[in-house]
Structure 1
């Protein structure tokens, strides 16, 4: 597929037609565990709240990725603006009094624009230049994505204006989407670069792990959505992994969710050893996985935005249980005995199209942003 639509996470999540096709082909439904009760609503009218951080004092920080400021949500549901930037702000994580976030600007095919930032005591500072690292190195530039063993006569029938080239390598592009910290080191899941960056306290940026391509099968729904010829149905595509969240588990490992484009069941959770970058699959069969949280006992919670579902994988198991059905969940965090989530994250965004040209264009026009911050007691 064209590199820009596929790697821009928000554009990937926006297609209502892909949603309809995907939900019809989702893997069999997970088992239902103890049903979650209706959550407590902490904040409303949020603008694409795709990232979240929570302090030990029940203070939440919520991003508004389509151009709004980061909000601080205090007990009693009081909110105030914290910080923003000239670009997309997201990827929140919190350690002590320091809030870490990522800032993505509009790049070019030859230059990526993205930074890791810190915010403390009312001041923002640049920590690491991810865009420069991606531009200079393009770590997945040698990785091949796309169809495997597709007959050349079939490949010739693909409309590359709609789908992109049948086979392509990783392009120069950075769209950091989530961050996590261990000590003085910041780890960033970069959805466009298809990797996890390691950023030291002095701003040095290096690659920790390049996530592997994830296989998906073309079905009739995907073929129709992208105008693909019938000869592609049943063929395998190696998807760009598109990492969307990174969290630190109780075992000291990093855990990462992957979106894997529009292929139902191609998404996964990986574990990454922060000492050497060793990367292993943990669970698979996911679709539109945009958020991740790890409980102290090792239970894994995954938000799947399109299926409107939060899954729970009991510690040591790759068999999901349905924790909650809720509209458009995205970011997840566990803190203070609660599971926090942002929901309804793409609702009511039609009026933002002129301000954010790459924002979803298939969403209904509504009266304003309708994202929410909610939480359940675990």
Structure 2
């Protein structure tokens, strides 16, 4: 959206609307003894999905590559094209589905494009669902007002040029997380700020829901930390809700992880959220608030929600009963999470440290008998 970097860039450098905010990385956390490392040395493993055979699909997004990690650790390349951002994946009856896009946000000069890809068990490759065309036609959040409201003109004049005082959603599309359910692929479009369904057979795209703006009242400490003028203290900035992943819960609703569209690190606190979306009506309800940088999501049969907190403490479990957040897997830079049976899988160390070789990892822990922190 307007003046918002593509989520890929946001995650890579914690780029923000308030661009002067310092980027921070989560400190390494202690790791539980039961943790098993399935793969090392991955390049920005921002997404993963686990199949019935316990093989793991991992998107090395910065490399434009989707790899399969077999149960025994053997790796094979499923798809590779450095010209595209390869994002979330899923599987259904032997067919692999994944999203690929380019041109999202002002920092990517390429033409806006994005589709769903499928590769069946015979290796037949198909591309369908023109997500960029849908966004160009509808501009899903064009009616949502972002930024400040009623900020005095004298204060607005003090804002940095790259900080919009007030604006509405602009045309952008960045298909990020996906979930295959029956004949539909649900897409968390981080550029359009919407959830989109793509018909597997026809390729028809449809906007299911648009996420609401996320208001935040600026404190004096936050304004100072962001090197912003003191006159914004006490005023509310309506940030964009940036969907990063989507899954179907046991109640049939879609569960969506959402970044707050501003500083993704702790500069303004834990402002991410988990939403529930009715796939039939588009109704959006808040499930959990004040979640730190949620970039991946999964649910279990009891309705508990598992969230990968990229700049937080690792994988969080949000209980369906009390909505409390508990650290289930302590880890640094946790980008995505999935469940298969009684095992939880996650990508950690998902962003490379400066001047060091990438060492993204896929890890797993058993859930049976595991006590939450």
CA distance in 1, matches of 2:22, 2:298: 26
Further displaced range: 136-145 or 225-234: 225-234
Shift in CA distance, 132/221, structure 1 to aligned 2, threshold 3 Å: farther
- 1:173 deviates by 0.9
Quote the residue 1:134 is aligned against: 135
Is the contact made by 2:2 and 2:169 (CA closer than 8 Å) also made in structure 1?
no
Match of 2:332 among 321, 327, 332: 327
Question: Gapped runs of 5+ residues in structure 2?
Answer: 16-20, 368-373
Is the contact made by 2:46 and 2:350 (CA closer than 8 Å) also made in structure 1?
yes
Quote the residue 2:167 is aligned against: 168
Quote the residue 2:13 is aligned against: 14
SS at match of 2:46: coil
SS at match of 1:10: helix
Quote the residue 2:176 is aligned against: 177
Shift in CA distance, 122/103, structure 1 to aligned 2, threshold 3 Å: same
Shift in CA distance, 192/235, structure 1 to aligned 2, threshold 3 Å: same
Quote the residue 2:355 is aligned against: 365
- What is the total number of aligned residue pairs between the two structures? 348
CA distance in 1, matches of 2:332, 2:105: 34
Shift in CA distance, 2/138, structure 1 to aligned 2, threshold 3 Å: closer
- 1:136 deviates by 1.8
CA distance in 1, matches of 2:184, 2:139: 22
Q: In the TM superposition, what whole-angstrom CA distance separates every residue of 1:293-332 from its partner, at most 9, and x where no partner exists?
A: 1111211111111123221112222111121220100110
Quote the residue 1:196 is aligned against: 195
SS at match of 1:199: strand
CA distance in 2, matches of 1:224, 1:2: 24
- 1:67 deviates by 1.9
Shift in CA distance, 158/12, structure 1 to aligned 2, threshold 3 Å: farther
Quote the residue 2:370 is aligned against: none
Is the contact made by 2:177 and 2:187 (CA closer than 8 Å) also made in structure 1?
yes
- 1:108 deviates by 7.9
- 1:250 deviates by 1.4
Shift in CA distance, 142/198, structure 1 to aligned 2, threshold 3 Å: same
Matches within 5 A, 1:180-259: 180-201=179-200, 202-220=202-220, 222-224=222-224, 226-259=226-259
CA distance in 2, matches of 1:212, 1:58: 36
CA distance in 2, matches of 1:318, 1:307: 17
Residues 1:60 and 2:65 are matched in the alignment: no
Question: Gapped runs of 5+ residues in structure 1?
Answer: 24-34, 349-363
CA distance in 2, matches of 1:267, 1:216: 11
SS at match of 1:66: helix
Quote the residue 1:123 is aligned against: 124
Is the contact made by 1:50 and 1:330 (CA closer than 8 Å) also made in structure 2?
yes
Is the contact made by 1:47 and 1:369 (CA closer than 8 Å) also made in structure 2?
yes
